[in-house]
């Protein structure tokens, strides 16, 4: 509803009202810090006898605070509400029986057109980021959120494959399922507090099935289209009609079809799923040769073969497997109490517990690791609330209209790092990479595997964290730390296909406690930078562990990044606990001088989007 009357009221820009004053519903950034919606504040659609006094009280409040415009938007909405005839009846009754101020039904567009017509250039506009407080739910469904991010990348590859092949398969069913999962505001309101109830379980299954369907359809179609790009096998291979069961159990596929969907050259790591243990190199149809390295299985990961490949933009190539004696050295013995990894790009040292002691960027000629930070690089941190209030110590949920709930910043958090109970179990050195494997555990995490990988031919490193997660139904947050040694750093966040500087390029009232990252987040100082690309887990906290502060401003005292892997904070729409084996990958790049945004983007594309890869006979 739009109130139209000359109002002598001055509250400032429209988006400032809700989060700061906490009362006006003029297009607010965050209802959690203000009112839930006009339907709650004003009693709509309970009737004129409730709505009338509340509306007049509300207008008097705005007048006392100085609202400056002649029209006011009352945002009548809630999660997925259908159109309501009650509102039309209420507006008609009000205008017939009360008359002033006049009400009319309006869309947001109508309201802003009217506002500009009345106030012209006096009405402010802003081009700033709007990080939202809702995004913590991404960590409440960590496995499914990872599937969603992967499927978005698959769709990018699929669209490029279709353009290359002239394929007309309809991608809309995949997009529809993906969008239905990504739209978070539907589910059971008691999923956090009653996670085992029928309503909670049924709601989540109904919602989560959409991302599984989207992922499976995209995976099957991508494999089929990628296989179509490979030319027929040679005559000798075509005449081999033996059943595959006569092959050695470890032989796996011998020929791969690969396609680069990116606008630029792909140069990065490729995991060769199912490739046999005897494969030591690939011969590409482009004439290039690439070494293959098999990493032995761990408790939380099967054996994997990897190669670093270069494929021009929009190009399809085939790769033939070659076999020989694998070149791989494994050791569990430190030298002088330290483990060392060396490539042309990096020098890494750690102690027997897996705590990194040094991370030297050789090209930049500088140490990039902040060893004085409270948590080590790659360290998993478990966060709980010690008081019996649990989630209510952060977000005190109420059911009355005024207000709907309270933010609280007095929660007592307990945090424990995994490196206090960790050990190096393997150091791997081969033609493709060097790697360090650390095992640890924490309460409700039966096993944690943290693997640091240095590529011999690539100027970035990877950290992979694998968890065996047990159910915990009170509040729980899991993080992994990335502390960098940079003085006076500021944070740049890539989100929604744009890059903004946290704090200085975001709207007042928007979220500073955590950020949803699309491709990367970077810490940048005057003379150096460090960027982290999260593949599966998009939530990041900047400078320190900041959940529960409800901060109005962001202050960066350290150049530390914390990936918020898992949480079960939000009580509605998402599961009340996380369970099972979870994997999280991160690509890390650093450099001297000004921030290289193109390099960060290329690494993110290589790591997140990558190549389409399919086995062919």
Residue pLDDT, tens place only, 390-400: 999 998 877 65
Band (pLDDT 50/70/90 cuts) for residue 243 is very low
Q: How far apart are CA 275 and CA 305, in angstroms?
A: 6
- How is residue 174 annotated by DSSP? H
Q: How far apart are CA 112 and CA 105, in angstroms?
A: 13
Stronger pLDDT, 216 or 25, i.e. the higher one = 216
pTM score, two decimals? Answer: 0.88
Mean pLDDT calculated for residue range 593-608: 96
Find out whether 102 and 115 touch, Cβ atoms under 8 Å. Answer: no
Band (pLDDT 50/70/90 cuts) for residue 56 is confident
Beta bridge partners of 284: 319
Stronger pLDDT, 26 or 164, i.e. the higher one = 164
Cβ neighbours of 108 (radius 10 Å): 10
Handedness of CA 375, 561, 30, 177 (dihedral sign): negative
Predicted local distance difference test score (pLDDT) of residue 588: 98
Mean pLDDT calculated for residue range 516-522: 97
SS3 assignment, position 204:
helix
Does the pLDDT at position 434 exceed 70?
yes
- Nearest Cα neighbor of 583 from 471, 422, 464 is 464
Predicted local distance difference test score (pLDDT) of residue 327: 65
- For every residue of 214-262, which 3-state class applies, written as one string? HHHHHHHHHHHHHHHCCCCCCHHHHCCCCCHHHCCCCCCCCEEEEECCC
Using alpha carbons, list the distances in angstroms from residue 529 to 94, 419, 422, 516, 602: 59, 26, 29, 20, 16
Strand order in the sheet with 102-104: 71-73, 2-4, 102-104
Residue pLDDT, tens place only, 546-571: 999 999 999 999 999 999 999 999 88
Residue pLDDT, tens place only, 76-88: 766 666 777 777 8
Tokens of 203: 């709601």
Band (pLDDT 50/70/90 cuts) for residue 34 is very low
Predicted local distance difference test score (pLDDT) of residue 23: 31
Stronger pLDDT, 298 or 405, i.e. the higher one = 298
Predicted local distance difference test score (pLDDT) of residue 534: 98
Band (pLDDT 50/70/90 cuts) for residue 21 is very low
Strand order in the sheet with 422-429: 329-331, 422-429, 433-442, 445-455, 461-469, 580-592, 528-534, 521-524, 490-495, 498-501
Mean pLDDT calculated for residue range 19-31: 32
Residue pLDDT, tens place only, 125-174: 788 999 988 899 889 999 999 999 999 999 999 999 999 999 999 999 99
Window from 118-122, 260-264, 445-449, 481-485 with minimum mean pLDDT: 118-122
- Which H helix or E strand runs over 348? strand 346-350
Transcribe 266-283 into DSSP letters.
EEEEEE-TT--TTEEEEE
Find out whether 470 and 568 touch, Cβ atoms under 8 Å. Answer: no
Q: How many angstroms from the chain centroid is the CA of residue 528?
A: 25
148 class by beta-carbon count within 10 Å (0-12 exposed, 13-18 middle, 19+ buried): buried
Residue pLDDT, tens place only, 525-546: 999 999 999 999 999 999 999 9
- Nearest Cα neighbor of 509 from 556, 550, 565, 452 is 550
| List of residues 6+ apart from 400 with CB closer than 8 A | none
Q: How far apart are CA 316 and CA 165, in angstroms?
A: 11
Beta bridge partners of 321: 282
Predicted local distance difference test score (pLDDT) of residue 324: 72
Mean pLDDT calculated for residue range 38-42: 53
- Nearest Cα neighbor of 257 from 246, 239, 267, 270 is 270
Window from 139-143, 277-281, 411-415 with minimum mean pLDDT: 277-281
Band (pLDDT 50/70/90 cuts) for residue 248 is very low
Proportion of the chain above pLDDT 90, given as a percent: 65
Find out whether 19 and 28 touch, Cβ atoms under 8 Å. Answer: yes
Predicted local distance difference test score (pLDDT) of residue 47: 67
Q: How far apart are CA 203 and CA 182, in angstroms?
A: 15
Stronger pLDDT, 427 or 237, i.e. the higher one = 427
Find out whether 55 and 100 touch, Cβ atoms under 8 Å. Answer: no
Find out whether 481 and 450 touch, Cβ atoms under 8 Å. Answer: no
Mean pLDDT calculated for residue range 105-127: 84
Q: How far apart are CA 450 and CA 299, in angstroms?
A: 12
Torsion of CA 12, 13, 14, 19, to 10 degrees: -80
Does the pLDDT at position 305 exceed 50?
yes
Mean pLDDT calculated for residue range 357-383: 97
Predicted local distance difference test score (pLDDT) of residue 530: 98
């Amino acid at each position: 509803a739009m109130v139209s009357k000359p109002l002598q009221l001055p509250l400032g820009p429209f988006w400032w009202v809700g989060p700061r004053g906490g009362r006006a519903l003029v297009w607010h950034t965050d209802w959690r810090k203000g009112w839930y919606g006009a339907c709650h504040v004003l009693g709509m659609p309970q009737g004129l006898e409730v709505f009338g006094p509340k509306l007049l009280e509300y207008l008097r409040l705005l007048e006392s605070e100085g609202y400056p415009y002649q029209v006011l938007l009352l945002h009548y909405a809630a999660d997925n509400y259908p159109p309501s005839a009650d509102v039309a009846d209420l507006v008609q009754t009000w205008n017939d029986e009360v008359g002033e101020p006049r009400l009319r039904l309006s869309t947001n567009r109508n309201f802003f057109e009217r506002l500009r017509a009345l106030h012209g250039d006096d009405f402010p506009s802003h081009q700033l980021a709007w990080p939202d407080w809702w995004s913590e739910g991404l960590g409440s469904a960590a496995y499914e959120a990872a599937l969603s991010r992967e499927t978005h990348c698959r769709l990018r590859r699929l669209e490029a494959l279709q353009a290359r092949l002239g394929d007309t398969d309809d991608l809309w069913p995949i997009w529809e399922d993906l969008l239905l999962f990504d739209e978070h505001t539907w589910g059971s309101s008691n999923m956090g507090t009653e996670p085992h109830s029928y309503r909670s379980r049924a709601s989540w299954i109904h919602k989560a099935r959409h991302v599984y369907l989207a992922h499976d359809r995209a995976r099957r179609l991508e494999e089929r289209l990628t296989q179509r790009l490979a030319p027929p096998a040679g005559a000798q291979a075509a005449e081999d009609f033996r059943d595959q069961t006569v092959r050695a159990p470890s032989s796996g596929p011998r020929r791969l079809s690969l396609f680069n969907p990116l606008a630029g050259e792909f140069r990065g790591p490729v995991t060769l799923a199912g490739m046999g243990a005897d494969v030591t190199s690939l011969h590409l149809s482009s004439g290039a040769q690439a070494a293959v390295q098999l990493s032995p299985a761990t408790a939380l990961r099967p054996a994997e073969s990897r190669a670093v490949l270069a494929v021009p933009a929009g190009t399809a190539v085939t790769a033939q497997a070659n076999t020989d004696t694998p070149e791989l050295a494994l050791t569990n013995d430190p030298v002088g109490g330290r483990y060392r990894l060396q490539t042309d790009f990096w020098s890494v040292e750690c102690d027997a517990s897996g705590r990194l002691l040094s991370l030297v960027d050789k090209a930049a000629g500088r140490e990039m690791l902040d060893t004085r930070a409270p948590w080590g690089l790659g360290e998993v941190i478990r966060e709980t609330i010690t008081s019996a209030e649990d989630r209510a110590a952060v977000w005190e949920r109420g059911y009355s209209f005024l207000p709907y709930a309270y933010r609280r910043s007095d929660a007592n958090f307990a945090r424990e790092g995994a490196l206090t109970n960790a050990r190096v179990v393997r150091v791997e050195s081969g033609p493709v990479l060097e790697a360090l494997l650390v095992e640890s555990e924490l309460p409700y995490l039966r096993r944690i595997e943290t693997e640091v990988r240095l590529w011999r031919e690539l100027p970035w490193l990877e950290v992979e964290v694998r968890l065996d997660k047990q159910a915990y139904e009170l509040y729980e947050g899991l993080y992994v730390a990335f502390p960098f040694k940079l003085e006076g750093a500021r944070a740049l966040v890539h989100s929604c296909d744009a890059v903004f500087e946290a704090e200085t390029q975001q709207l007042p009232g928007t979220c500073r406690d955590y950020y949803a990252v699309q491709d990367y987040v970077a810490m940048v100082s005057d003379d150096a930078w460090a960027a982290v690309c999260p593949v599966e887990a998009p939530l990041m906290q900047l400078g320190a562990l900041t959940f529960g502060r409800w901060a109005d401003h962001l202050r960066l005292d350290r150049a530390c990044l914390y990936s918020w892997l898992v949480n079960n904070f939000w009580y509605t729409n998402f599961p009340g606990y996380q369970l099972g084996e979870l994997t999280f990958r991160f690509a890390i790049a650093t450099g001297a001088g000004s921030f290289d945004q193109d390099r960060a983007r290329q690494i993110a594309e290589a790591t997140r989007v990558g190549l389409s890869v399919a086995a062919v006979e």
